[in-house]
Amino acid sequence: MQLYAMYKVLEAMGHTPFVLTYKKNYDFVPELEHRNQITLSSIPYILKNFLFAKGIRLTWHNVLKYTINKKFRTRNLRHCSYALADIDAAIVGADEVLSLELGVNMMMYGHGVNTQHMIAYAPSCGQTDMERIERFHCRHLMASGLSNFMELSARDERTREIIQCLTQREVPVVCDPALLYEFPLEEYKLPRRTPKRDYVVVYSYDARFTSPDEIDSIRRYAHKNRLKTVSVGTYHGWCDYNIACNALEWLKCIAGAKAVITDTFHGTIAAAITERPIAIHYSKSVNSSKMLDLINRLGLNDRLLKDISIDEVERIFSQPQDMVRLRERIQSLRKESRDYLCRALNRIICQEI
């Protein structure tokens, strides 16, 4: 969703965007390469860690999702290699492109990219901090690359501080592309199997929202309010509906919900830009600081669940959500972020003339 959003923003500005392809590095956690880089060698990993460990339904859901989104990317986005692309500039971001959690991806710090004009738009370090950067001996690699960027920004306060520490440059915070782009929701279709009756969307990774108490609380809330439970984009076998779809259908499904319960960064953004009542579960054990940073910037602190219990879910949804204030905050973030991106691109255009 955020990739598509940035692509459409750049097109609207009159540019011709390309998605730069690369092979992600997994040196620090090599076993995850079989999960995230789908090849024939991935089959044993998938059989062991998905089909046998998590069941055929979840595995099939992820296969469908992978296939659907691969078709979506092929149909909607131009692609070329970061090292060979004939481009005037490259934008790094958003999401956790500066993270060292799995391995070192030097192109994200500007090394080896086929242009001298590098722009960082809303990158995040995720769980990476200066201690990890030093421990993995990556300070010079990151600092030397980022220091050569024409323009630098960050998506959250923690990343801003890290980039400033590495480069000794002032760095503004800009919003995620999914917040920057104004999605024309009326043009999108609901995914297949979206229920005809009212529903609550549950959006979390499949390893979360799995305790019997959490499941019971959400289902009791839905039953009491005559709502079906819908897990869209991820799989939760206890939900009434599990829907595999592309990014735009995912957003449309959320836009049609009576309520959204999530513990993810982009689940929060999706509910915010579609103005759906939201209950957010934030946990330091599973969420990085970028999540809390987003909640603070959108003014959604009053939508935080203390825990996932029936009393807490009912407490949050019994409170009216201030959509006018939320809309104003989003518009302010969009203006500041669009101004940054325009200045960065115009600086490059002026140099080329």
Could you state, in order of their start, the residue ranges of all structural domains in the chain? 2-22+82-179+333-352, 186-321
Answer whether residue 208 shows pLDDT above 70. yes
Answer whether residue 34 shows pLDDT above 60. no
Answer whether residue 252 shows pLDDT above 60. yes
Q: Taking residues 172-189, report their average pLDDT.
A: 97
Answer whether residue 48 shows pLDDT above 70. no
> What architecture does CATH give domain 186-321?
3-Layer(aba) Sandwich (3.40)
Interacting residues of 144 by C-beta distance below 8 A, sequence separation 6+:
109
Taking residue 275's Cβ as centre, other Cβ atoms within 10 Å add up to 14
Q: List the structure tokens of 225.
A: 């309010």
Q: What pLDDT, on a 0 to 100 scale, did the predictor assign at position 349?
A: 78
Task: Read off the pTM.
Answer: 0.91
Instruction: Name which of 6-15, 98-107, 283-292 the model is least confident about.
Output: 283-292
Instruction: Quickly state the pLDDT bin for 78 (edges 50, 70, 90).
Output: very high
Answer whether residue 41 shows pLDDT above 80. no
Q: Taking residues 56-63, report their average pLDDT.
A: 88
